Homo-oligomer: A and B are copies of this chain.
Amino acid sequence: MKSLFVEDVVEKVGKEVELYGWVHNLRDHKKIVFVDLRDRTGILQVVGDETLRKLSPEDVIWVKGIVKERPKNLVNPKLKTGAVEVEAKDFKILSEANELPIDLTKDELNVSLPTLLDYRSLTLRHPKISAIFTVQETVIDAFREGLKKKGFVEFQSPVIVPEAAEGGSEVFEILYFNHKAFLSQSPQFYKQIMVGVFEKVFSVNKTLRAEPSVTTRHIAEATTLDAEFGFIDSWEEIMDVTEYIIKYMFEEVRNKNQEELKMYDATLPKVSGKIPRIKLRKAQEIIFKRTKQDHRNEPDLSPEDEREICAWALEEKQSELVFVTHYPVSKRPFYTYEDPDDLGYTLSFDLLGRGIELLTGGQRIHQLETLVKNAKKRNIDIKKSDLYLQAFKYGMPPEGGFSFGSERIVMKILGLENVREASLFPRDMERVDVRLSTIQKKPPSK
């Protein structure tokens, strides 16, 4: 198996090395041919004679050669390996590539979003594109690690569910052994059940939503990160844990992904001290004062409002993150806890960052009767979610939690324009790998 990577070569000056990778670029200078060899760790210059001329971009090759220091004036500061090159003695093509439809050799991959996705298996190999998923891996690992340090247990939440749990139409239906079943929009019910078992839990989920709109921030399949925990003394503790894990994730990205951040000229959201926490109504007052736009009777923040309150938090509180709390009962799911000291409003919050909602959370109702009553009020047939009710029937502690999409966080960290860029294989109304217009239509039986 391959044991030497491109980035290791800088430490092998004077030695003979064997390397494996892809031909990233070729520069033919008549008697001398330069090959940029790429592997997952970087790019390295290989120099050889005209026999190298038969190589093409993306050919998979084996090269044997001697590592040489480059003369000072030929050092390439843009490459990690820019101080060395390998003088090829021998090489072999392991796998030949067809002619490429796009150019991978520039620092920026200047293609449209549809092209980026039409050639996804190829475009993912561009260092600036694969970097996005290195950051996603860090975010998810940090979520796990940070919560485990606080005694949380990871569990596996199901994808197939018996009911469209929270009501709503944006749910995918499946044909399940001659029955109807649905795809999970959220592990909400299951993580609450698991609080009854392990007290503090989290899950990394595939959540599926039949979002009927094509926006830059919605995808049909997302990798979401969910946590839930019991025995809270106060709902503020849910925000405390949220704040802890968000800061933990940012710190991990800062520690591990400097190279990736540099590619995007990105910095992590600034947070000085505690993240500000304000009620929705207070946020609306602030927005009214700043913009003269009166949204004080709205039940939620509009996208413009979200941007405005983020601007306020940065200017006034030196924070790129802000908690907005106490959304009205009507705007939150039936299981959300109503604030006994502020009736009509819930013990719920959104965490906003860089102009959009990053995360949502809150305290849940843990009393069976209230839960059933609330579901009824909203015409939700909760009886079909029998296991969920069971958890409350047999004793549940006061509890709450939060949920967010890994793609949206990565998008905001790197400053991507579209959340699709932060999903390896994004699914939406128009695409499941291939454009849907090219695949079979469902017969109009429904």
Contact = CB atoms under 8 A, between A and B. Distances in A.
A100 B233 CA distance: 27
Given A120-B387, A160-B208, A180 B433 contact: no
Interface in A212-253: 212, 220-221, 223, 229-233, 237
B221 A158 contact: yes
A178 B441 contact: yes
Nearest to A198: B40
Contact of A395 (B97, B177, B190, B387): B97
B387 A433 contact: yes
Contacts of A181: 432, 439
A33 interface: no
B175 A390 contact: no
Contact of A124 (B136, B141, B193): B193
Interface residues of A, number: 104
Contacts of A208: 159-160
Interface stretch (A265-273, A298-306, A332-340, A423-431): A423-431
Interface stretch (A149-157, A254-262, A346-354): A149-157
A445 B442 contact: no
A159 B441 CA distance: 19
Contacts of A155: 133, 137, 424
Contacts of A153: 40, 134, 137
A212 to B, nearest CB: 8
Nearest to A124: B197
Contact of A174 (B136, B173, B193, B433): B173
Contact of A176 (B137, B177, B432): B432
Interface string A345-373: 00000000000000000000011100000
Contact of A1 (B136, B172, B231): B231
Interface in A393-407: 393-398, 406
Copies in the complex: 2
A207 to B, nearest CB: 9
Contact of A122 (B134, B199, B394): B394
A130 interface: yes
A377 interface: no
Contacts of A156: 136, 140, 206, 223, 406, 423-424
A58 interface: yes
Given A59-B395, A177-B210, A181-B432, 19 more contacts: A39-B199, A40-B153, A58-B394, A95-B367, A95-B397, A95-B398, A98-B368, A120-B193, A120-B390, A121-B387, A133-B197, A137-B154, A162-B433, A172-B174, A172-B176, A177-B436, A179-B440, A180-B441, A194-B424
Interface of A: 1-2, 20, 22-23, 39-40, 58-60, 94-98, 100, 119-122, 124-125, 130, 133-134, 136-137, 140-141, 153-163, 172-181, 183, 190, 193-194, 196-199, 204, 206, 208, 210, 212, 220-221, 223, 229-233, 237, 366-368, 384-388, 390-391, 393-398, 406, 423-425, 427, 429, 432-434, 436, 439-442, 445-446
18 contacts: A1-B231, A23-B395, A94-B398, A98-B368, A98-B394, A119-B390, A120-B387, A122-B390, A160-B220, A160-B427, A173-B174, A174-B183, A176-B210, A180-B439, A190-B425, A386-B434, A387-B425, A445-B446
Closest 9 CB pairs of A and B: A2-B231, A97-B395, A121-B390, A445-B445, A58-B395, A121-B391, A58-B394, A162-B432, A159-B206
